């Protein structure tokens, strides 16, 4: 018999979560970037819906985007019914871009991920693994997401809207 198939994160239903409790080392520890201005983040949030054709047609898709931290432009955006899958697609696209780009055109390590969903611990872990310094979500954040963001040094913001957000972790990564 074939094993059951689901779209869970991998942590759900596991009897032993210990392998998940060790967070990966961030890729951006060498980076020194200023805080992300609220105005730049606001522009990115305003641009997100234009980059979501599946959401526009169905009302049932999540988006994950990599930001240009200077302008708020969305450099890469991916959609999927599942928020985990949207972030996985973004991680794959970002990896391919990094491998194909000459050094001067590479997207920076230590960037920002913007998601249309809530922030869960698994998304925090994935954002750290893909080299993000910040994860900004339009929805809320779980307690474990906040804990893992604090432990890893990831900036985490929830309930993000143009001009406002709830900074959950890494307040120094967000600015005026």
Catalytic residues: 9
The whole-angstrom separation of Cα 130 and Cα 95 is: 8
Residue 55 in tokens: 């959401």
Residue 48, sorted as left (phi over 0), alpha (psi -120 to 50) or beta, turns out to be alpha
Asked if 137 contacts 117 with a C-beta cutoff of 8 angstroms, the reply is yes
Q: 85: closest CA among 8, 3, 4, 5?
A: 8
């Amino acid at each position: 018999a074939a094993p059951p198939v689901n779209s869970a994160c991998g942590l759900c239903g596991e009897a032993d979560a210990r392998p998940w409790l060790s967070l990966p080392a961030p890729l951006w520890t060498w980076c020194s970037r200023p805080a992300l201005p609220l105005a730049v983040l606001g522009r990115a949030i305003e641009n997100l819906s234009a980059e979501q054709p599946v959401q526009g047609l169905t009302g049932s898709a999540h988006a994950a985007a990599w930001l240009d931290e200077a302008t708020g432009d969305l450099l890469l955006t991916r959609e999927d019914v599942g928020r985990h899958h949207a972030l996985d697609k973004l991680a794959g696209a970002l990896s391919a871009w990094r491998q194909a780009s000459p050094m001067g055109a590479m997207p920076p390590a230590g960037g920002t991920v913007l998601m249309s969903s809530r922030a869960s611990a698994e998304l925090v872990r994935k954002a750290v693994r893909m080299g993000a310094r910040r994860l900004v979500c339009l929805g809320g954040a779980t307690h474990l997401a906040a804990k893992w963001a604090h432990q890893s040094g990831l900036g985490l913001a929830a309930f993000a809207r143009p001009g406002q957000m709830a900074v959950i972790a890494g307040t120094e990564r967000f600015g005026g």
